Amino acid sequence: GAGRAAHADVLDTAVGTWIAARTRTDVLAAFEKAEAAIAPVQDVRDVLTDPQYQALDTVTTVDDPELGPIRMQNVLFRLSATPGAIRWAGRPHGADTETVLTELGLTPADLAALRTEGAL
C-alpha cells in the first residue's frame, strides 16, 4: 500500500491512459472480469435511463401551468412518515407579491398606491 501510494501519479496516468483508449462498456466489462471496483460517471442521459434512479423517482415530472410537464430533481430525502413533495415547479412572477408586502406591513391603500404608480 505504501509503495502504491508513493507512485499514485504513475498509476493514475497508466490506468487513465488505459481507460481513455477503450469504450465505457469495455472498461466496465474488464473491471468486472477482474473483480475490481469501478463505477461509471453518469451524465444526464444515463441518470434519466438508470433503472435505480427510475425506481427511486429521483427525477420526477411536475406539471407547470405555463410550461406543461417538466422533468426536475425530486425531493432528495423522502421519509416514510413525512416524504415531502414538490408542490410546483415555480410560482408565476408576482404570484406572492401582495402576501409578502402585506406581511411586511403595507396596507391595502399602500398596495393600491403602488399599483397606481406602476410599481406592482
Of the chain, the percentage scoring pLDDT greater than 70 comes to: 100
Q: What pTM value is reported for the model?
A: 0.58
pLDDT band at 2 (very low <50, low <70, confident <90, very high): confident
Question: What one-letter code names the amino acid at 90?
Answer: G
In this prediction, residue 4 carries a pLDDT of: 81
- Tell me the HSE value of 94 on the side-chain side, using a 13 A CA sphere: 3
Tens of pLDDT, residues 74-101: 998 889 899 899 989 998 889 999 999 9
Where along the chain do its domains lie? Answer: 1-41, 43-89, 93-120
Scanning the chain, the segments in alpha helix (DSSP H) are 2-6, 8-20, 24-33, 44-49, 51-56, 97-103, 108-116
